[in-house]
Every structure is written in structure tokens, then in C-alpha cells.
Amino acid sequence: MKKILYTLAAAALCSFQSFAQDAAINRFFSEYENRDNVTLISLSGKAFEIANQIEMEGDEAEDFKRIAGQITGFRMLIDNNDSDAKSTAKRARREISAKFEDLVTIREKDSDVKIVINESNGLVTEIIAIIGSDTDFMLASITGQIKLSDVSDVTKRFSSMGKDVFAKSLDPSKILVFPSPASKGQEISIVLPSELNGATVQIFDVSGKKVANFIANDKMRKLNTDNFGTGVFILKATKGDIETTRKFLINQ
């Protein structure tokens, strides 16, 4: 069996809680761990603790230590011989817990990439990436207490581990909808990063009804919410092969 397991220091002693907490993701790792031609990579929280204590110099080193200090675990599985990889990826996306919020979806000719996060009050406890192409399926999980503003840096630092999965990841902290929660009928402001200039932006309520749409530019967009109603709303921005979403709330 082609199985690669990277461990640093006492990685084998890492508790189960250091890894992905979503039950569906754990099932996928259990399902694949004994398959032939599957590559598994696992780094424990202890590994990142040790990395954070290594003496390094320079701004790049300080950035690495800052990010490493927020991570408690990393797991990745790669199956290069899945004849129905896109369907496998679709099943993984379908089974992920509803607690996860879409960060970015990338649809290309030969592959689909989806990155989701579990975020509350500006802290991300898990980042999951799912990729399906013609014959390749990849699933990755990063756990920790990660600042929302650091998510883009975290994901891009893992992009060299087997697949360039996170290369197009956007910084979610730059997708702003405020105030959130807003009050019914209150004007909201929307700011999108420069990477999304020219994107088609649509806003949907939880039933899937579209309540607003516009083309993004480099200016703040203000929207009247008189016709929105209340509840959770989903902002979806699409530009080329990149689609990203953000949720916001309107109260009574």
C-alpha cells in the first residue's frame, strides 16, 4: 500500500480531538486509510507546537510561527486512482455538516475545488478542502483556533502538500457585510476584495429566492433591505471559475 504518514515528535500520541471534528470527514479518513494507492498525510498539534518554538529570523519566519501557533492538526488524503473521483467529491460535499460555511468554490474544466470553514465570532475551528477531478480525489482538514483574517495565509502555506489546492483561496476577512446582524429594513454595506472586481454578486434568502444582484467594483456597495425580510442570507460572488459565498443575518 502506498501510504505516507508524516509525523513530527510525538504525533502518534496526539488525541483524537486534535483532528477534524466533523463526523462525515472522519468517516472518509477511516474509509480510505487501508486502501491501496492512497496517500495519507497527518500532522499533530504537537508538531505545530514544536515548529512554533523553533528559533527563526525574519518576517517570513514570524508569520510562519504566528500561523503555526493557531493550528492543532492537519490531515490530507489523496487517491489518484478513483475512477469516479468527481462523484466521490460530490458525496463528501453533500455529507459535510451544515455548520460549515462555503469559503470558495473553483470550477475548472478538469476539476472542482470546494473550501469550507467552521467559523464563529471571527475564529475558524476547521478548514476543509475537497477536490475531485477525472481520477483524483483529495480531502484535507486543518483544525485549530485560526483568526478569520489568517485563513488565506494558512491555506496557501499548505498548497504545496501534494496539490495546489489552496492557491486561489480568497481572504474571507475581506468579504464584508455590515452591520451583521442588521435590523429589518436597515441599509447594509458590502465590500469585496479587489480580486472580485467585475464579479456577479447575488444575494439569496435561505429558501433560494434571489433578493438582490449587482456587479462588484472597488467601491463600497450600499443596499436597502426593505424587501429582504429577516433571517439568514447568502451573498454569492462569481468571477470566471471562482465562486465565493458569505452569510449574513437580518433580525426583526
The tens place of each residue's pLDDT in the chain, 252 residues long, gives 333 333 322 333 333 333 445 788 888 888 888 888 899 888 887 776 766 666 666 666 777 778 888 989 889 999 988 888 889 999 999 988 777 888 888 777 777 888 899 988 888 999 998 988 888 899 999 999 998 888 877 776 655 444 454 445 566 667 889 987 899 999 999 999 888 899 999 999 989 999 999 999 988 999 999 999 999 898 999 988 788 888 888 998
Query: For residue 194, what are the domain limits?
Result: 175-251
Residue 5 lies in a domain: no
Do 25 and 137 fall within a single domain? yes
Considering the domain boundaries, does residue 6 fall inside one?
no
Of 153, 171, 189, the one marking the end of a domain is 171
The confidence score (pLDDT) of residue 12 equals 31
146 and 203 in a single domain? The answer is no
Same domain, 121 and 54: yes
- 150 with 239, same domain: the answer is no
Do residue 101 and residue 143 come from a single domain? yes
Same domain assignment for residues 66 and 183: no
Whether residues 160 and 199 fall in one domain? no
- Per-residue model confidence (pLDDT) at position 189: 95
Domain boundary among 125, 145, 171: 171
pLDDT score of 10 = 31
Q: Are 97 and 216 found together in one domain?
A: no
* Residues 162 and 179 grouped into a single domain: no
In this structure, is residue 27 part of a structural domain?
A: yes
Q: Assess whether 64 and 76 both reside in one domain.
A: yes
Task: Look at residue 195 in the predicted model and tell me its pLDDT.
Answer: 83
Number of domains within the chain: 2
Domain boundary among 141, 171, 201: 171
HEC assignment per residue over the chain: CCCCCCCCCCHHHCCHHHCCCCHHHHHHHHHHCCCCCEEEEEEEHHHHHHHHHCCCCCHHHHHHHHHHCCEEEEEEEEECCCCCHHHHHHHHHHHCCCCCEEEEEEECCCEEEEEEEEEECCEEEEEEEEEEECCCEEEEEEEEEEEHHHHHHHHHHCCCCCCCCCCCCCCHHHCEEECCCEECCCCEEEECCHHHCCCEEEEEECCCCEEEEEECCCCCEEECCCCCCCEEEEEEEEECCEEEEEEEEEEC
